[in-house]
Amino acid sequence: MQLGYHIAKKLSFKSQHSFTKTITSLAIAAVSISVCVVIMAFGILLGFKKEIREKVKGYAGDISVSRYQLASGNETNLFDIDNGLIQEINLEEDVSSIFPFINKAGILKSDTTLEGIILKGFPANYDFSFYQKHLIRGEIPHYTDSSDSYDILLSEYTASILDLDTGDRVHLYFIDQSDVRRRMPKVRGIFNTGLHEFDKQFAIAHLRSIQRVVSNDYSKAAGYEIKVNHAKNTEATKAKLQTSFDYTYAINTVQELYPAMFQWLDIVDTNVLVIIILMFIVAIINIITMLLILIIERIPMIGILKSMGAHSTKIGTIFNWQGGFILSAGLILGNGIALSFAYLQNQYKMIKLNAETYYMDAVPFYLPWDYLLYINLGALIVCFVFTYIPVRIIHRIHPAQSIRFN
């Protein structure tokens, strides 16, 4: 093994043979491109999933609890808020937060335009960090548990349709059968999440102000929005929550509420898997071809080593090591290119996207270190195993013929 390593090192790093250098350089380039594409494909896929999940989760939480109803729609049957149950669920290990909410349909009216909207009411202690992150003008309203507030958050889409800006007041009408209730909320902030299907529908309001529209007190809610610490534990947490609610409540994960979003990501999964398989095949073919060329070029050397008593397996380790050097160089170069792209893309958003189609304005990149490690180990192991295929040709080389080979 030591002999094979030293000869391979000399041939790979000290050889002045231009043809060998050219073949080796091309092989390194091919491996690095394949690894780079695989890392970028994984990172972009995971980035898409993370961005979309966080945005949908920001609107609806990981799990939503509401009362069953016969009619479909955004408004749900009301129930009394159970503060004891909220405290109990908050103690669950996988639950990060639980808040009551109410969805109430209304009509916003400016001087020239009418626009339907769903007011989503949250309590004063709600975590508004999602909306703070996507706030483009104004500020998050300051709500308290002791008084009603009629400050609202509007999406940029709705604000542009109604020609509104922060600080403006707008006519808001709630219509229930023959009863019409009118409010004059102030637009405190304007946000843009990139999820246009949601931005077109929803505005954010104080839970107390919506409760006063739908009931005579502040004890009603239409649902609980629950967020979990880790997305992978969503289904397990949902199963635990089944014991906390009776049969009149529907418990749905965000994937069940908005299946189209996640089905689209499943299609992307398939495309990325095809790309990854193709890139690995390209890398394997390049490694095999390169080693075959190097073996053919070194047939006289192989014949001399055999005539001196070296076994074919021992000689084969020379080319295994050469393949390993090329793989290592390709991995380092491929990782460097991919991670450099990831940094520049996340910092400067060089590659833009149509937000109405992709729910974000730039290509995202997110790749945990363990995924990066698995990709590199997988590429190294798979490609290195295939280096043994061309090496088997060495067993068929006879010393007498190989020495005369030209």
Please report, in tens digits, the pLDDT of each residue of the chain (406 residues total): 476 777 777 776 665 556 777 878 888 898 899 899 999 989 998 998 889 889 999 999 999 999 987 555 556 689 999 999 999 999 999 999 999 999 999 999 988 899 999 999 999 999 999 999 999 999 999 999 999 999 999 999 999 999 999 999 999 999 887 789 999 999 999 999 989 889 999 999 999 999 999 988 899 999 999 999 988 899 999 999 999 999 899 999 999 999 988 887 788 788 888 888 888 888 888 888 888 888 887 778 888 888 888 888 888 888 888 888 888 999 999 999 999 999 999 999 999 998 888 888 899 999 999 999 999 998 888 888 888 888 778 777 777 666 665 5
Same structural domain for residues 90 and 43?
A: no
Same structural domain for residues 335 and 359?
A: yes
Same structural domain for residues 199 and 335?
A: no
Same structural domain for residues 83 and 231?
A: yes
Same structural domain for residues 77 and 219?
A: yes
Domain presence at residue 379: yes
Beta-carbon count within 10 A of 196 CB: 16
DSSP 362: B
- DSSP-assigned beta bridge partners for residue 186: 151, 169
The model's pTM: 0.82
Cα–Cα distance for residue pair 396/392, rounded to 1 Å? 8
Domain presence at residue 60: no
Domain presence at residue 255: no
Q: How many domains does the chain fold into?
A: 2
Same structural domain for residues 98 and 230?
A: yes
Domain range holding 41? 2-55+262-403
Cα–Cα distance for residue pair 247/298, rounded to 1 Å? 76
Same structural domain for residues 386 and 347?
A: yes
Pairing label, strands 114-122, 249-253:
unpaired
Domain presence at residue 328: yes
Same structural domain for residues 47 and 85?
A: no
DSSP 123: -
* Residues 6 or more apart whose Cβ sits within 8 Å of residue 372: 39, 335
Domain presence at residue 126: yes
Same structural domain for residues 144 and 223?
A: yes
Same structural domain for residues 126 and 22?
A: no
Q: Are 225 and 119 in contact (CB under 8 A)?
A: no
Same structural domain for residues 243 and 271?
A: no
- Reduced to 3 states, what is the DSSP secondary structure of residue 171? strand
Same structural domain for residues 197 and 327?
A: no
Domain presence at residue 388: yes
